[in-house]
Amino acid sequence: MAETQDQLRVLVADDHAMVLEMIELFLSSQPGISVETADTLDGALELVERLGSFDIILLDLNMPGMNGVEGLRRAIAANDGKPVGILTSNPSPHNVSQILEAGASGIVLKTTHTRTLANALRFMAAGEQYVPREITIDRSDQVNLPDNPLSKKELLVLSHLAEGLSNRDIGAKINLAEPTIKMHVRSICTKLEVKNRTQAVVKARDMGLT
């Protein structure tokens, strides 16, 4: 799989120099990740045009040229439909809905720990949608989850959780890195509104998902 064998090509765009520098410094130190940066949307799009599509693009929601989610849509189109996520501070429920409905692969808060950032980028690059627990909790009273809120990949991970496999064993079985499996488990727990993997398996069985 690309995420475990090949270099993950990341583009981060933010007009706050300190934020951009910290992210670039951290990601550049991570094995298997190469990073390019820009401080405007136009600068990011120029890099895509010059260097080709990236595995994952992360855009500051409020930087010059974004015009809300319109900039997100432009970036998705320029990146050949590959994942594009949004970097922001404290989005309102309305903002969150707009961002996700516009096709974002996820939302990364600027308060996110750097270790979580790397995992979130890998998660989105793998084709999944990343939404932090803080946002999910804030929106829990306003969003009615369907009977089956889980993605196909999450259902696959859940089926192996029900078998009692560890994150490492699940990763080996479905060819995903262990940090990505951890992110899937966290997402499953968030969507099912439970605290741990055991509760997730029990609730999933009650819902008829396993």
Question: Which of 26, 75, 209 shows the shortest CA–CA distance to 86?
Answer: 75
How far apart are alpha carbons 9 and 203 in whole angstroms?
Answer: 37
- Paired tokens of 116: 């979580």
Whether the CA torsion 147, 149, 152, 157 is positive or negative: it is negative
Kindly state whether residue 147 falls inside one of the protein's structural domains. Answer: no
Is residue 146 assigned to a domain? no
For residues 52 and 106, membership in a common domain is answered with yes
pLDDT of residue 157: 92
Same domain as 160, residue 95: no
| Residues of the domain holding 194 | 152-207
User: Is the same domain home to 57 and 99?
Assistant: yes
Report the 10 Å Cβ neighbour count for 146.
6
Average pLDDT, the chain: 87
Q: Is residue 145 part of a domain?
A: no
Task: Write down the pTM of the prediction.
Answer: 0.68
Q: What digits encode the pLDDT tens for the residues 137-190?
A: 544 443 444 467 888 888 899 989 988 889 999 999 898 888 899 999 999 998
Which segment, 65-69, 114-118, 134-138, is predicted with the most confidence on average?
Answer: 65-69
Is residue 85 predicted with pLDDT exceeding 90? yes
Where a domain ends, among 139, 164, 180?
Answer: 139
Last residue of a domain, one of 139, 167, 198: 139
In a domain, 78, yes or no: yes
What pLDDT is stored for residue 95 in this prediction?
85
| Domains of the chain: total | 2
pLDDT, position 167: 92
Q: Residue 144: inside a domain, yes or no? A: no
